[in-house]
Structure 1
């Protein structure tokens, strides 16, 4: 259809429909793994307060009055961020039918929009060694308080390399992190029943992680007692080639929170009477999204820098 002033609205509607179809197809086909490590929370304002974190709902024997766990103890707030990606299509490109590359652009937009939470979630995970969680400590720290007892601490931060060379090496790294998580107790000394099940590694540690989880024996020939104790997830979004993260993801809440305020959606500015069209001859198409990733309970994760 020839692009003229008379049929501009019809042509632009047809173009946007095509762009949106391409966008939606790419969005649907893009694989994500962030939901393995993060719980999705729908946000209804500029920020959300997670006062409930740290209040474990364990049952206790009811003797006398009930013990009420109040929610005002923590002021951990996650503020939403805004994101966008916009492209301009000149009216001359439409008139001259120079639109060959646009399907690729909108396909990429769909892919990036689907991956948007992926980037936030694994950014939060890899920055867990310095970014703070609900108790005011970095998500990975050596001195997290146990419940309301400030004198009782636990550590979920490690520095040993991930290894399957020998049993001793594996025990010093992966084994120590796993044992620490399995042994966590609440302020009353009762087990939190945390079972680590997901090992997140950068591409550089893929071979090591998969060998550790699947090989019957260590490299030195000794029996691999850690075989099949966790699923391996390889994530290129981690900041270093040495870090690794052991997570417990089967509880009601996962280690990372993905806070969604606005789902990524494709929008169009195609008013032929707009200043952009009159002054620059440009129609605009783009994606907007709002959200953020934060931390739930440090008890559900153990992270190692892998530096020693």
Structure 2
């Protein structure tokens, strides 16, 4: 192909349209599950500050003046970061009609753009055993504090037990205990939050165990399975270990994890023939850019186990 100043813009426009079409197709086809465990909180600046309240206002009998809750919050800030995926195309490949070699790169850029939110959200979830949430404790901790003063108590949403279907006792000590922990969490006035485990998130190594726990009529000891159908299973390749598992309540508007997009993935290009990259190295660039963050919502809505 003859590529000169006369036809450069026409050729580049056609190339850009073709690459964007491949990018968009891969973006649409890619699987994404972040919204199963996270709530989207849009961002309009460099960061978002979340003043998560400790009080959970509920209706009470109205006698005399209304009782106004003295809401307390914690400063929890998520800073937006920049992300990119870039494909570089050599001018010689345009002149030689050799653009087919870039199709896989454009497809991968589209797929990674679709799964950008998954990457942020599930990496946040798997780091919950070591990173802090709004109350200054690790997201999964044995000593979250609920209530004030003499009425305060320590509450755990962390386990160190393997997910098991070997026997009724083993299943109860793992998954059963996590369900009970969620159901038992109360607000600072001692009222139940009515939480329940709806989603069981596991690594690929625990897929068979989790599916058996949710579908088998009987456990491996031959006894009836009391947990059949009590939660959906999500197999997640982003989890850091082969033993961890997470039981979440994802049935409410507020979810355990926050996804904070400042700028969702957009297709970008650099096709100015007079740019330094083209003049000095004969390179054109296409790709995607995004900006955002992920962090922790309410620890009360999740129980995590290291599995060991």
| TM-score normalised by L of structure 1 | 0.96
Which residue in the other structure is 1:203 paired with? 204
What do the CA deviations read for 1:165-192 (whole angstroms, capped 9, x no partner)? 1010011111111001111111111110
Matches within 5 A, 1:175-254: 175-254=176-255
Relative distance call for 1:20 and 1:63 in structure 2 (3 A) is same
Q: Which residue in the other structure is 2:30 paired with? A: 30
Task: Say whether the 8 Å CA contact 1:181–1:196 is kept in structure 2.
Answer: yes
For 1:24-50, what per-residue CA distance to the aligned partner results, in whole angstroms no more than 9, with x for missing partners?
111111111111001011111111011
Provide the aligned C-alpha RMSD in A. Answer: 1.5
Please report how far the alpha carbon of residue 278 of structure 1 lies from its aligned counterpart in structure 2 after TM superposition: 1.2
Given that residues 38 and 254 in structure 1 are in contact (C-alpha distance below 8 angstroms), is that contact kept between their aligned partners in structure 2? yes
Greater CA deviation, 50-59 or 15-24? 50-59
- Name the structure 1 match of 2:11: 11
| Unmatched tracts of structure 2, length 5 or more | none
CA distance in 1, matches of 2:185, 2:250: 15
Give, in angstroms, the shift of residue 276 of structure 1: 1.4
Cα displacement string for residues 261-307 of structure 1 (whole angstroms, at most 9, x for unaligned residues): 11111100111111111111111112111111101101100000010
Rounded to whole Å, the distance in 1 between the matches of 2:210 and 2:53 is 31
Task: State the 1:249 CA deviation.
Answer: 0.2
Identify the residue that residue 121 of structure 1 maps to in structure 2. Answer: 121
Mapping 1:120-159, distance limit 5 Å = 120-148=120-148, 151-159=152-160
Contact between 2:203 and 2:237, CA under 8 Å: does it hold in 1? yes
> Counterparts of 2:148 and 2:79 in 1: how far apart (Å)?
26
Cα separation, partners in 2 of 1:250 and 1:103, compared to 1, 3 Å: same
Distance in structure 2 (CA, Å) of the matches to 1:227 and 1:98? 55
Provide closer, same or farther for how the CA distance between residues 52 and 269 of structure 1 changes in structure 2, counting only shifts above 3 A: same
Which secondary structure state, in structure 1, belongs to the residue aligned with residue 123 of structure 2?
A: helix
Q: Which residue of 2 aligns with 1:75?
A: 75
Structure 2 counterpart of 1:48: 48
1:287-302 matches, cutoff 5 A: 287-302=288-303
1:187-237 Cα shifts (integer Å, max 9, x gaps)? 111110111110000011011111111111110011111111111110011
Partner residue, 1:274: 275
User: Contact 1:39–1:256 at 8 Å: present in 2 too?
Assistant: yes
CA contact (8 A) 2:157 2:304 kept: yes
Partner of 1:91: 91
Answer whether contact 1:53 1:297 (CA < 8 A) is retained: no
**Conservation of the 8 A alpha-carbon contact between 1:52 and 1:71:** no
Q: Retained in 1: the 8 A contact 2:165–2:213?
A: yes
What is the alpha-carbon distance in structure 2 between the residues aligned to residue 53 and residue 25 of structure 1?
Answer: 42
C-alpha displacement of 1:245: 0.1
Cα distance in 1 for partners of 2:231, 2:165 equals: 14
Alignment check: 8 A CA contact 1:30 1:111 kept: yes
Number of equivalenced pairs: 307
Q: Give the CA deviation at 1:148.
A: 4.0
